[in-house]
Amino acid sequence: MIRFGVDRLIADPALLGGAKRVGLVTNDAARLAADASQHSRAALLAAGVPLVRLFSPEHGLAARAADGAPVADGTDALTGLPVTSLYGERLVPSLDDVRDLDVVLFDIPDVGARFYTYTWTLFHMMAACTEVMVPLIVLDRPNPLGGELTVAEGPVLDPACRSFIGEDAIPIRHQLTNGELATLWQREHYAGIRLDVLTCDGWSRAMRWPDTGLPWVPTSPAMPSFESAHVYAGTCLFEATNVSVARGTDAPFQQVGAPWLDVGAVLADLARRVPKGVEFTEVTFTPTSGPYAGEPCRGIHMAVTSPAALRPVALGFLLMAAIATTHRLRFQWARYPTAANPSGQEHFERLVGRRGIRRHFDAAPQDIDAALVRVWTDTGDWSARVGPELLYR
């Protein structure tokens, strides 16, 4: 039986050591392993944890705000607690938001991709807690993509591309839990923080989300299923282009397309690049936001046939190369304005975490093959670097 960190704390609130004023970084996707209908914040209050303030990440406390949209502070209808938004007027908690607390808890499900912003809300909360000497406890949850480091995929972020969708030099698919990332950052950035991680019971590194037997709770509006999360680390790269990632459909990130896409020609080109672990089918979909909102798009749907063989970041690069080759005039880069990047410029570089890769798509996308992509997705010394921080076998 799997228990999340929050389940462990509810079973033993004494783990808080008598704290009287507790802050919680959370959203509606944070539920109990024991009962997915129970929001963790309500269950913590019912267990006697003295919550006095909530903090919400991108998409807000309800986890329903549009991607990149600013969210205002407010009051939680479920608990009556004040909510400080960390994706609106501020992306970083002020020291006054934290200094009057005895401890801050972090409990938000993640999807295992560097550019999913919940991770960086943790990173900045760690900075604030370090500054005012308030303890931080990560209530850990499984990485839905698993924890096997052999399938981690770069690029590892170059500091020159640092942004709110990548604040530290980690790979796109990092294969760590939030608790493990926090222990890494304690060693590398926040040595003075008083950090604790309540680990999950019953989870091992070989387990992807379906292996847990637990229901998937959508972590954001465009992440309705594990199937979307499974390929997101690669197909999210299309956000920086004029190709739709099918937001608003029942399979966002599992399919990409455009009204002008010649699906047959793209699939024929893609076959020579040999992406692994996935099956492609032709679809038609109508997105509700992003490029071509309200327009029927010719698209390519991806179904994972071999999770062990799938390399989603490599898949994203190879599929993009096939589309760029087939549609040299139609395929274009696009801005992606968000609260964290109002201009929307250099979104591809921020997602990928490296400069110089875009020029290959501009100059010679026909030459982008599996061998070149392996160079781009190399993770260097990542396994050795994070070895001391691994909390699970």
Mean pLDDT computed over 79-100: 97
Mean pLDDT computed over 359-374: 98
Residues 212 and 232 grouped into a single domain = no
Containing domain of residue 265, as a range? 226-376
Return the pLDDT at 15: 96
Residues 208 and 234 grouped into a single domain = no
Confidence of residue 46 (pLDDT cuts 50, 70, 90): very high
In a domain, 161, yes or no: no
Q: Give, for 153, the enclosing helix (H) or strand (E).
A: strand 153-156
Return the pLDDT at 311: 98
Residues of the chain with pLDDT > 70: what percent? Answer: 100
In a domain, 236, yes or no: yes
Residues 295 and 191 grouped into a single domain = no
In a 10 Å sphere around its CB, with 0-12 CB exposed, 13-18 middle and 19+ buried, how is residue 393 labelled? exposed
In a domain, 159, yes or no: no
Residues 290 and 258 grouped into a single domain = yes
Amino acid at 238: F
Mean pLDDT computed over 265-280: 96
Residues 184 and 275 grouped into a single domain = no
Residues 243 and 344 grouped into a single domain = yes
Q: What angle do CA 337, 340, 343 make, to 5 degrees?
A: 35
Return the pLDDT at 48: 98
In a domain, 356, yes or no: yes
Q: Determine the length of the chain.
A: 393
Report the 10 Å Cβ neighbour count for 54.
22
In a domain, 162, yes or no: no
Residues 198 and 109 grouped into a single domain = yes
Mean pLDDT computed over 215-237: 98
Residues 199 and 306 grouped into a single domain = no
- CATH number for the domain spanning 18: value is 3.40.50.12170
Structure tokens, 382: 């990542």
In a domain, 195, yes or no: yes
- CATH number for the domain spanning 309: value is 3.90.1150.140
In a domain, 387, yes or no: no
Confidence of residue 212 (pLDDT cuts 50, 70, 90): very high
Question: What residues contact 365, with CB distance under 8 A and at least 6 apart?
Answer: 320, 321, 322, 324, 325, 328
Residue 208 to residues 2, 49, 119, 172, 308: CA-CA distances in angstroms? 13, 31, 19, 17, 10
Mean pLDDT computed over 77-93: 97
Residues 197 and 117 grouped into a single domain = yes
367: left (phi over 0), alpha (psi -120 to 50) or beta: alpha
Question: Mind listing the pLDDT tens digit for each residue in 228-252?
Answer: 999 999 999 999 999 999 999 999 9
| CB of 321 closer than 8 Å to CB of 359 | no
Residues 240 and 339 grouped into a single domain = yes
Last residue of a domain, one of 155, 190, 217: 217
| CB of 139 closer than 8 Å to CB of 107 | yes
φ/ψ of residue 218, rounded to 5: -50, 130
Residues 204 and 233 grouped into a single domain = no
| CB of 199 closer than 8 Å to CB of 392 | yes
In a domain, 232, yes or no: yes
Residue 135 to residues 13, 100, 128, 382, 386: CA-CA distances in angstroms? 16, 12, 10, 27, 23
Peptide bond into 155 cis (omega under 30): yes
Q: Give, for 154, the enclosing helix (H) or strand (E).
A: strand 153-156
| CB of 291 closer than 8 Å to CB of 68 | no
What is the pTM assigned to this prediction? 0.97
Q: What angle do CA 220, 240, 225 make, to 5 degrees?
A: 25
Residues 137 and 256 grouped into a single domain = no
Structure tokens, 389: 């921080």
Question: Mind listing the pLDDT tens digit for each residue in 157-196?
Answer: 999 999 999 999 999 999 999 999 999 999 999 999 999 9
Q: How many domains does the chain have?
A: 2
